[in-house]
Every structure is written in C-alpha cells, then in structure tokens.
Amino acid sequence: MARWGMVIDLERCNGCQACEIACRSENNVPVGGPQAAQENRTISWMRVLAETHGEWPDVRTRFVPQPCMHCDRPPCTMVCPVGATSLEENGIVNQIYARCIGCRYCANACPYTVKYFNWKEPAYPESTKDGLNPDVSTRPVGVVEKCTFCSHRLQRAKEQARTEGRILREGDYTPACSESCPTGAIVFGDLDDPRHRVARLSRDPRAFRLQEGLGTQPKVYYLAEED
C-alpha cells in the first residue's frame, strides 16, 4: 500500500500562490472575499504563509506553503467524537462532511491550524459557479473541511490504471497544487516507494517537517532554503 506524501522545496517557492488558486478551484473551496478575510474566516486548504525572522538589517523572509500535513499520528482524528475524520491506509487523513457535527474539536487539536470550519453557507462568485468541480462535493455550512491531497484524483488515477491494465505509476496521481506549481517546488508521490522522487527527497539532508517535536509525524516534508 502506498503512503502518499509531499515534499515542498522552500528554495524553489517564490510565493506566487498559484497552488492556493489551483487548490481552490479544484476542490470547490468557497470564496469568502474581503469580509471573511477581515473576520479571520478564510478557508484555504493550501495556504502560503510568509514567515519573517529577525530584525532589520538581519531579516529573512521565506514562503511556506501549508496544506494538511496528513500526519501518521494525527491528533485530529483521535479527538473526533463521531469518527468523521480518520487516517486511511494509504496515508491520507480524510474528512466525512456528511457525518461531521461541527464541534471543531479536531480543528483545535490540529497544531498546524489547517482544519477549516464553514462559519457561513459556502459562497462562490457567479462567474465560477459553472466551473465547480463535479468530482468534489461542496460542503454545507457548519462542518469542518481540509486538504485531502485531492484524493478524488487518486480514485480517477486508479481507475485509469486499471482500464489500461497496469499498476499506478509516479505522476498518475498528483494534487492540483503540485501540478500547478510553476517552479516545481511541490513534489508529490509515494513516500514508501524508492522509485518516487518524494521518497528520495524526504531523506535529503535539507528535509524537515513542521513542529517535528510534537510527534505527529507529518507526511508533508519541507526542504530548507540553501544559504
């Protein structure tokens, strides 16, 4: 069984946020607009954070794209009272929107703050309504949602491979953020398959994970910038 994971090269990321946009349109993420931004209620399954360290003249800023970390020991799944979020065998942490009761315990338990709550009925600009992705269900008000590593694409890739009578190859299944990244900073694949680039990159000396000390064992790795 594959163990899907991601490696994001911070040296390559230039903060263009193409991944955010690609994710938003791929996954029918509602558009909250300036009001949601002002209220701190923006939903963004992929979010490029600008981190600034130090003070002038010794300042460094880097861009850190943050999807769900799909932890191997996810703190969010343990606390859910109704089992609406769980770690699948393939390493993806899912979210069952139809079962979620909206208590937001998982959102509080997540140390990465990447679980988003639908405070309001999801809204889409009129012009994008025809372009909603039929493969991804829209979420109702009052439930938690988050990055799924575009798991609907995995279903499609598996079906494609099966009709062609072959096994899944690297590149068959790529989330929208990785696909859209112009600098190729986001690499996706099976962390357990040595033929996949992510397996090699995740062992790179530059590789690290966010909040590693918490023991959550995220499957999103970062490659530190070179000096």
Q: Is 123 in the site for another protein (CB under 8 A)?
A: no
Q: Considering only 53-61, 171-179, 182-190, 209-217, which stretch makes contact with another protein by CB under 8 A?
A: 209-217
Compute CA distances 194 → 189, 190, 191, 200, 211, whole Å: 10, 8, 7, 7, 25
Helix (H, G, I), strand (E, B), or coil: what is residue 90? coil
Question: Which of 80, 185, 200, 96 shows the shortest CA–CA distance to 140?
Answer: 96
Q: Compose the 22-41 pattern: x for residues touching another protein by CB under 8 A, - for all others.
A: -----------------xxx
For residue 177, the surrounding DSSP H or E stretch is helix 176-180
**Are the CB atoms for 45 and 60 separated by under 8 Å?**
no
Among residues 112 and 173, whose Cβ is nearest to another protein?
Answer: 112
Q: Is 94 in the site for another protein (CB under 8 A)?
A: no
Helix (H, G, I), strand (E, B), or coil: what is residue 23? helix
* Smallest separation (angstroms) from another protein to the CB of 130: 25
* Smallest separation (angstroms) from another protein to the CB of 84: 7
Q: Is the dihedral of CA 171, 158, 133, 87 positive or negative?
A: negative
Among residues 133 and 138, whose Cβ is nearest to another protein?
Answer: 138
Q: Considering only 16-24, 115-123, 154-162, 217-225, which stretch makes contact with another protein by CB under 8 A?
A: 115-123
Q: Is 17 in the site for another protein (CB under 8 A)?
A: no
